[in-house]
A and B are shown apart, each in its own frame.
Chain A
Amino acid sequence: MSTTTVAAAPVLHPGQTIRRADRRLGVLMLAPALLYITLLVAVPFLLALFLSLTNSSAGSLQFSFVGLQNFQNVVASPVFRRSLRNTFVFTFVSQLAVMVLGNILARALMRPFFGKTVARFVILMPWAAPISLATLGWLWIFDSTFSVINWLLKVLGWLGPGQWYYWLGDPTLGMVAIITIHVWRMLPFSTVILLAGLTAIPNEVREASAIDGAGTLARIFQVEIPMMRPILTVAVLFGVVFTFTDMSVVYLLTRGGPFNSTHVLASLAFQDGVLGGDVGRGAAVAIFLVPVLVVLAVLMLRSSRRAEVV
């Protein structure tokens, strides 16, 4: 079907029909993964969607249909609205911090220096530690009775006589603690990706802009970052998904407290659905995660593809 010449190898343009044998092979190669994903993700997802419309409880799949009751109750609940807001705030703030800090760290890692291998190893460790165990460590570090951070601040004289930071007992400080852990955990991974993006920028481009008289900041923002757009998109996308759906840090650190003020959607769904036994309600809460993620993901995928064309 496709013609070959001696001189050039055949090139398939988009729009040109793919050879039939290839197409069959393509379906064959895709089938196992597709089957697996459909059976084990799509179907359970639809079932969970269905459960959110029921009053199923305590894990029993016996239920009666209650329509949108769960969603109505959930949306009316101030705890839910707070946790929706928290989910966005945590994700946005921590990812912003990770991008800024990651860029700085990636640049610093580009230059050779003494002990670079060891430094790289140490910087990678937060990503390597299992999150449940690392969060337990942070639990002690932030526990206001024993907090080593507070001790340090007191010794350095930054805390006055009556002052003390109740990290986990104050809604705002609790959010700071959670965001810190997210940043601590994601930084190594994002740094690594950004490092790759930076090293991919040809040196000539950097030198050319320096010769043009561009200052460092201008160079960074107007030349390098646009060039790194696809990479940045990946790093941000991955970080956002990871943080947005994470339940472990919140659950292990504050249990959503004080008084349910640091919950995110994932941890609230766990508390209501699994601990409280109201499966329908838990499913309703968790479902709010999906549309937001879908929108974010589609936006980013599209923007990254557009950047590629340039």
Chain B
Amino acid sequence: MAASSMPRRAAGTVVHRATILFFLAFAVFPFYWMVVTSFKQNADLYVGATNVKHNPFIFNLPPTLDHLRILFGQTLYLTWLRNTLFVGVIVIAITLLLAVPAGYSLARLTGRWGERLSIGIFLTYLVPATLLFIPFSRLVSLLGLQNSLWSLVMIYPTFTVPFCTWLLMGFFKGLPKEIEESAMVDGCSRSGAIWRIVLPLAVPGLLTVVIFTLTLVIQEFVYSLTFISSVERMTVSVGVPVALVRGDVYYWGSLMAACLVTSVPIAIVYNFFLDRFIAGFTVGAIK
């Protein structure tokens, strides 16, 4: 078997490499184009694709920093990043505060009716934003939160809490009961056991919630478009199109630069936590 598997293994490696390259190309191809466009002069960009002599993937005219200058100098891009992060961190905190106890409670302390309730909670995740946006407007104004980032802080957990509760419920179920039980036999109260034993074990699950919530907050733009009107309070998803898509003029270079500058740090963070995220998500979701 060894003799015949040598060329087989070589062929397998080639296939393997080719596969990886294919997926890399598929994932990265728009980003490559974004990088080039961020530095291209507009006269180099506005050339039709039927012109085979003009290669859109390279610089036909010298590159320029103008688009970056517009993005960082003439728009409030950094402010928007700050706002997005601000909302993200608080929403993560709220989600953890609401979903962790709820998840544990449904996993351990509520029995049969808890199971049924958990499905109901999960189903609220399915209600789409286009349906809720009008009633939310009324609510936001009743509370005097219009044009404030706090309106987003209040609304965003509606799509993070249900899913994370369901996720954490599964996760807690996956942790062996014996550990808590033995701690309680030793005289620990239930809350003490949770705090001292269960939570440290739950770190992968908590990390999952953090990453998942952060993703959804950064992607969201319907609610933030609706409730925020001042440019300096916008989040990245809304501020960038508002400032850089002016009716019939798109500032492509700056738009693409904005997309890149936002995506790269996030991808780095995800990559860093990837293994723990996987662990948390899968354990939580299976059980």
Please give the residue numbers on chain A whose beta carbons come within 8 Å of chain B beta carbons, in ascending order. Answer: 4, 9-12, 14, 18, 21-23, 25-30, 32-34, 36-37, 40-45, 47-48, 51, 59, 61, 101, 104-105, 108-109, 111, 113, 117, 119-134, 136-138, 140-141, 144-148, 150-151, 154-155, 164, 184, 187-188, 192-193, 195-197, 200, 230-231, 234, 241, 245, 247-248, 266, 269-270, 273-274, 279, 282-283, 286-287, 289-290, 293-294, 297-298, 301, 304, 308
Contacts and interface: CB of A to CB of B under 8 A. Distances in A.
Contacts of A137: 30, 33-34, 255-256, 259
A32 B101 contact: yes
- Report which residue of A146, A230, A273, A282 has the largest number of chain B beta carbons within 10 angstroms of its beta carbon: A146
A23 B48 contact: no
B236 A130 contact: yes
B263 A29 contact: no
A4 B181 CA distance: 11
List 5 tightest A-B contacts by C-beta distance, closest first.
Answer: A26-B109, A29-B101, A33-B102, A44-B135, A133-B259
Given A124-B274, A125-B27, 20 more contacts: A9-B181, A22-B108, A23-B109, A29-B102, A32-B98, A45-B132, A108-B19, A113-B17, A120-B271, A125-B263, A128-B267, A128-B270, A129-B263, A132-B219, A136-B259, A137-B33, A140-B37, A154-B50, A269-B128, A290-B131
A128 B136 contact: no
Contacts of B102: 29-30, 32-34
B147 to A, nearest CB: 16
B155 A40 contact: yes
A269 B131 contact: yes
A12 B285 CA distance: 23
25 contacts: A10-B185, A32-B97, A44-B135, A45-B127, A47-B135, A59-B137, A113-B16, A113-B17, A123-B23, A124-B270, A126-B30, A129-B262, A129-B266, A130-B218, A133-B263, A137-B255, A146-B49, A151-B55, A151-B56, A154-B50, A193-B281, A273-B134, A290-B127, A297-B126, A298-B119
Nearest to B28: A122
A304 B286 contact: yes
A231 B283 CA distance: 9
A247 B267 contact: no
A116 B164 CA distance: 30
A247 B135 contact: no
B77 to A, nearest CB: 11
Contacts of B134: 48, 51, 59, 61, 273, 279, 283
A123 B27 contact: yes
Contacts of B17: 113
A196 B281 contact: yes
A80 to B, nearest CB: 14
Contacts of B155: 40
Interface in B135-193: 135-139, 154-155, 157-158, 161-162, 165, 177-178, 181-182, 185, 190-191
Contacts of B137: 59
A287 B128 CA distance: 9
Contacts of B59: none
B120 to A, nearest CB: 9
Contact of B109 (A18, A42, A155, A164): A18
A133 B49 contact: no
Contacts of B57: 148
B133 interface: yes
Contacts of B195: none
B136 A44 contact: yes
B72 interface: no
A34 B240 CA distance: 35
- Report which residue of A30, A197, A234 has the largest number of chain B beta carbons within 10 angstroms of its beta carbon: A30
A129 B130 contact: no
B260 to A, nearest CB: 8
Nearest to B124: A41
- Report which residue of B17, B135, B137, B178 has the largest number of chain A beta carbons within 10 angstroms of its beta carbon: B135
B269 to A, nearest CB: 8
Nearest to B111: A18
- Report which residue of A22, A29, A42 has the largest number of chain B beta carbons within 10 angstroms of its beta carbon: A29
A193 to B, nearest CB: 6
Contact of A30 (B46, B105, B252): B105
A154 B55 CA distance: 11
A133 B277 CA distance: 25
Contacts of B191: 25
- Report which residue of A22, A41, A101, A145 has the largest number of chain B beta carbons within 10 angstroms of its beta carbon: A41
B240 A133 contact: yes
A123 B24 contact: yes
A273 B133 CA distance: 10
B135 A26 contact: no
